[in-house]
Amino acid sequence: PLSELRHMPGSGSDGTEDSDSSAEREQTNSSESDGNVPKRQRLTRASTRLSQSSQDLKRAADHDESPPLTPTGNAPSSESELDISSPNASHDESQAKDQANRDSDKDLSHRPKRRRCHETYNFNMKCPTPGCNSLGHLTGKHERHFAVSGCPLYHNLSADECKVKAISREKQEEEVKGQEESNSRHATRHQTPTSKQSRYKEQVAEMRKGRNSSLQKEQKEKHMEHRQTHGNTREPLLENITSEYDLELFRKAQARASEDLEKLRIQGQITEGSNMIKTILFGRYELDTWYHSPYPEEYARLGRLYVCEFCLKYMKSQTILRRHMAKCVWKHPPGDEVYRKGSISVFEVDGKKNKIYCQNLCLLAKLFLDHKTLYYDVEPFLFYVMTEADNTGCHLVGYFSKEKNSFLNYNVSCILTMPQYMRQGFGKMLIDFSYLLSKVEEKVGSPERPLSDLGLISYRSYWKEVLLRYMYNFQGKEISIKEISQETAVNPVDIVSTLQSLQMLKYWKGKHLVLKRQDLIDEWKAKEIKRGNSNKTIDPTSLKWTPPKGT
């Protein structure tokens, strides 16, 4: 009867097997071991029920083309899962059902672990700062941290102090944002600072005047004691070194950088401690990297890379680098030397002819650039590599890449000065050289956007210097932005933005007027005289170059 067929083996309401069905299985097993019982007698009530259910499934399959489901709720992977009318159906199916129940229990017990996998991984990680419990974050927005960049203890702060600073920073950002929205409508009309901006500038000047010019003896002793106690495991004490205003600006920059690294780590673009090169050995310098570069995984996971400074080949160990340097015949970049003055040279390298060198150069540059996306497709570009020569060879100073055929007349696609040559004037030399090529081509050039933070600073400084030099030498009465652009090869958009930042562009009676601010010009001229005849300038007469023909 149907009432007897409702109880399947292993399907009791309390999660245990029925005693009758288990007894029947034992009887079946014993009969199988004897080998004397006919196969016909091995069919139990459970096998009868399963055979009926198989017939129902087949009838349902006739009406519905979708495959029937197994006891776990998934479609069968083979026809053998549907074959349940074998002579040993009782024993085989009871084992199959028990195994299926165990598999389903495993699946159900494993699903929450999958959800907590990322969380468990994070809690297993630990901040490398000695004595830190990984609680708190420099931004004040996260409960835990796993890197030195977000460690409050490393920055000589507590988690509560970071939260208080975060709240105050948010309030200041809201106030600044509100002021910008109110002033955005009249930004084109009011080129002069508003009264609020003038008052804020005066407040900043007063705060900066209040800083101590030198540390007192007790403060010096405190700083030295802190340094001797903690060494490189803690950030040096920064109090009383500069004004409170500048120190707060530095803290904001640290928090912002830490937040950016936290976002990259959550997105999986970088993982702290693995797949990110920390340092590279480049010539006689050991350089700390700033960003992630897509080197092959077997090299990236080492954390330290050894790079030949001439051919830019990357290696795993110093022994391999030593052997390579003994055999490497390169002493300068491949390509044509198009500029030489003193010890400074510039080589033009074609990405199509020297593909491996240009790819290695792009991978090296990505370690110090945030917005760079070009690594392997280097054939449409020309690379202008600046070097400084000595008795051992031509050492890489920096480079910029340029499209062979730029639709928007970009004269620079990517530009980099190596960290050991920064703040020495080489960045402006690279920019000046790119505009010199645009002048020879009789074109107006502009760098490709977006610019990196350091690149934007360098370009703004260069444009300011070019405009002030033009104003100093200009003897006429009316200045035309078009004439400035044709003479300097700077894009008119960049000229206008620079004039606005210098407050030398005024809207008056329906016209934009360029004001010649003599104070800024005199200040620039004084710096030029103080700088003297520096070698960090590009001499147009030393250029030996003809524009390449379009391909």
Catalytic residues: 448
**E strand spans, 438-479:** 446-447
User: For 460, what's the count of Cα atoms within 13 Å in the CB-facing half-sphere?
Assistant: 13
Element (H, E) at 26: helix 19-34
Cα separation of the two ends of the chain: 88
Residue type at position 541: T
Report the C-alpha gap between 368 and 455 in whole angstroms: 11
**Residue 338's CB: how many other CB atoms inside 10 A?**
17
| Dihedral-angle region of residue 449 (phi above 0 means left; psi in -120 to 50 means alpha; beta otherwise) | beta
Q: At what angle do helices 89-115 and 19-34 cross, to 10 degrees?
A: 120
**Could you write out the DSSP letters of every residue in 333-366?**
-SSEEEEEETTEEEEEEETTTSHHHHHHHHHHHH
Instruction: For residue 505, list its beta bridge partners.
Output: 514
**Residue 490's CB: how many other CB atoms inside 10 A?**
25
Cβ pair 169, 139 in contact under 8 A: no
Instruction: For residue 314, list its beta bridge partners.
Output: 307
Task: Please tell me the total number of residues recorded for the chain in this structure.
Answer: 551
Residue closest to 235 by CA, chosen among 214, 256, 216, 254: 254
Q: What distances in angstroms separate CA 533 from CA 294, 423, 524, 529, 538, one per listed residue?
A: 42, 17, 15, 8, 12
Which of helix, strand or coil describes residue 416? Answer: strand
Cβ pair 378, 355 in contact under 8 A: yes
Residue closest to 440 by CA, chosen among 542, 367, 352: 542
Report the C-alpha gap between 551 and 436 in whole angstroms: 22
519: burial class by Cβ within 10 Å (0-12, 13-18, 19+)? Answer: exposed
Report the C-alpha gap between 310 and 323 in whole angstroms: 14
Sheet of 279-282, strands arranged across = 285-288, 279-282, 304-307, 314-315
